[in-house]
Amino acid sequence: MEQYIERVVDLTDPNANQIYNLSEEDARALILNNPRAAREIQGSFTLVARQGKSVFMARSLDRPMRYFLAKRAAGPVLVVAHRIDTIWEWLKSESLADQFHPSYTRMVPAHHVARLELIGCPDPDPVYTRFFDPPMASLPADLDRIAEAYIGALAEEIAQWLSHIGEREPIGVCFSGGIDSGSVFLITYHVLRRLGMSPARLKAFVLNLGDGPDVGQARAFLDALGLGIFLEPIQAERTSLNAEETIRVVEDYKPLDIESATMALALCRGIRERYPEWRCLIDGDGGDENLKDYPIEENPELTIRSVIHNSMLYQEGWGVGKFKHSQTYSGGLSRSYTRTYAPGHCFGFQGFSPYTRPSVIEVAEAIPFIELTDYSVDRLYALKGEIVSRGVRVITGLDMPVFPKRRFQHGAIPKEALRETLPFREAEYRKQFLSLYR
């Protein structure tokens, strides 16, 4: 009897991993031998490990990881990569492209180890082992204590990252003066000084398309603290915004994410043109998800009860094994983080989103949202600014300005002008995305 020969092709970039406490070999051994212990891996990673016909895959929330299973007469071949187009190009090179459709690719969901058995045709669905499952509402309803724990965890993650990248690397904050980017800037500034590193390495980059409100907000934020010297607007032309380019870069078609990623591309392009050697960017992505700060009324599927009662709803969507969970895209920030990762990666930046780290999410999940809000939507929306500003004050002694929430794309360009430039049409965006693989 002819024996199948299974093949695993790992096209992920091992140099992109930023694992602080383990070697990559030890991290792979961990997901192979004890998947639930993958929570111990500190940093950012995509990992593939194999044992016989079993393949184990795991990723951090801030790193996309996709795979595709192709069939050959000799046996199956599993292709793993950060991007869909990377898989597509490899399949073409192996004359396997006829088997491909982008919807046949699969995203490894964040906070899970996916185990796939290469046993022939038909192959079974992957088996998922959750490695991060923080308890909900375990903190007392004490805003000062919550704030100190939450921003304290943020500070420790930033300190660990700063120690990892070294003492000379310049650091750019993707900045708007909002709660998330503002807190990340102030904590980074504070930690640099605490570690005896020069804060002169720091810049707050704000996108300026000519008439968006973020530039004024960013200036007001920093001037109020006597830190205006760190602000650096990045000019871009509205005519440079291109949804088709964004769809190609982020490999998705959700309008809000396309809008946000289009602004991220403009910002990253402008920074790269001005600073050809710049490498490190830090941002506030994940802060909205952690403190549940999205307009519930804009999503007919959501109520405040569903938001508060479902663990990590905004980070993971409805979750693995649920009816609405997409195997192609995952869900929540596990899916939409490409809006941050892909633009930075496209222009050669090493990004860091400290609010996506498990130690920070763990504190957020421990917040007793029911007790603090009594199911009031207005109280929920007010909670984020209260918690973050208190935490920044405790950790740094600075009184952080708090402005009303505004999406990145609406701060870079007025909403009415945005609609003229980027029509909000998911069906058209989906069509453009699929056309890339004709």
Q: Are residues 57 and 104 in the same domain?
A: yes
Q: Whole-angstrom Cα distance, residue 318 to residue 312? A: 9
* pLDDT of the residue at 123: 72
pTM, 2 dp: 0.96
What total number of domains does the chain contain? 2
* pLDDT of the residue at 286: 97
**Residue 136 belongs to some domain of the structure:** no
Contacts 24+ apart (CB under 8 A), 345-349: 345/82, 346/249, 346/265, 346/268, 347/265, 347/268, 347/269, 347/271, 347/272, 348/272, 348/279, 349/268, 349/271, 349/272, 349/278, 349/279, 349/280, 349/281
What residues form DSSP beta bridges with 88?
Answer: none
Q: Are residues 182 and 97 in the same domain?
A: no
Q: Which of 98, 130, 162 is the last residue of a domain?
A: 130
Q: Whole-angstrom Cα distance, residue 279 to residue 297? A: 38
**Residue 138 belongs to some domain of the structure:** no
**Residue 135 belongs to some domain of the structure:** no
**Residue 207 belongs to some domain of the structure:** yes
**Residue 1 belongs to some domain of the structure:** no
Where residue 211 falls among pLDDT bands split at 50, 70, 90?
A: confident
Q: Are residues 25 and 51 in the same domain?
A: yes
pLDDT digits (tens, 9 = 90+) for 32-46: 999 999 999 999 999
Q: Are residues 210 and 315 in the same domain?
A: yes
Q: Are residues 114 and 149 in the same domain?
A: no
* pLDDT of the residue at 314: 97
Where residue 125 falls among pLDDT bands split at 50, 70, 90?
A: confident
pLDDT at residue 420 greater than cutoff 90: no
Comparing 283 with 124, the larger pLDDT belongs to 283
Asked if residues 291 and 360 have their Cβ atoms less than 8 Å apart, the reply is: no
**Residue 213 belongs to some domain of the structure:** yes
pLDDT at residue 213 greater than cutoff 80: yes
* pLDDT of the residue at 1: 35
- Orientation angle between helical segments 179-194 and 377-396, nearest 10 degrees: 20
Sheet (strand 106-107) strand order: 7-10, 77-81, 66-70, 106-107
Q: Which of 76, 106, 130 is the last residue of a domain?
A: 130
Q: Are residues 304 and 340 in the same domain?
A: yes
Q: Are residues 206 and 274 in the same domain?
A: yes
Q: Residue 267: which of 245, 240, 248, 293 has the closest Cα? A: 240
pLDDT digits (tens, 9 = 90+) for 174-195: 999 999 999 999 999 999 999 9
Where residue 4 falls among pLDDT bands split at 50, 70, 90?
A: low
Q: Whole-angstrom Cα distance, residue 264 to residue 408? A: 9
Q: Are residues 124 and 153 in the same domain?
A: no
Q: Are residues 222 and 311 in the same domain?
A: yes
- Orientation angle between helical segments 338-346 and 243-250, nearest 10 degrees: 100
The percent of residues above 70 in pLDDT, for the chain, comes to: 98
Q: Are residues 164 and 109 in the same domain?
A: no
Q: Are residues 65 and 158 in the same domain?
A: no
**Residue 292 belongs to some domain of the structure:** yes
CATH of the domain at 183: 3.40.50.620
Single-letter code of the amino acid located at 209:
L
Q: Which domain holds residue 107?
A: 7-130
Contacts 24+ apart (CB under 8 A), 258-263: 258/339, 258/422, 258/429, 259/407, 259/409, 259/418, 259/422, 259/424, 260/339, 260/407, 260/408, 260/409, 261/338, 261/339, 261/340, 261/342, 261/343, 262/409, 262/422, 263/207, 263/408, 263/409, 263/412, 263/413
Q: Residue 252: which of 107, 351, 45, 353 has the closest Cα? A: 107
pLDDT digits (tens, 9 = 90+) for 259-292: 999 999 999 999 999 999 999 999 999 999 999 9
- Among the residue ranges 77-81, 112-116, 122-126, 392-396, the one predicted with the least confidence is 122-126
**Residue 297 belongs to some domain of the structure:** yes
Q: Are residues 226 and 265 in the same domain?
A: yes
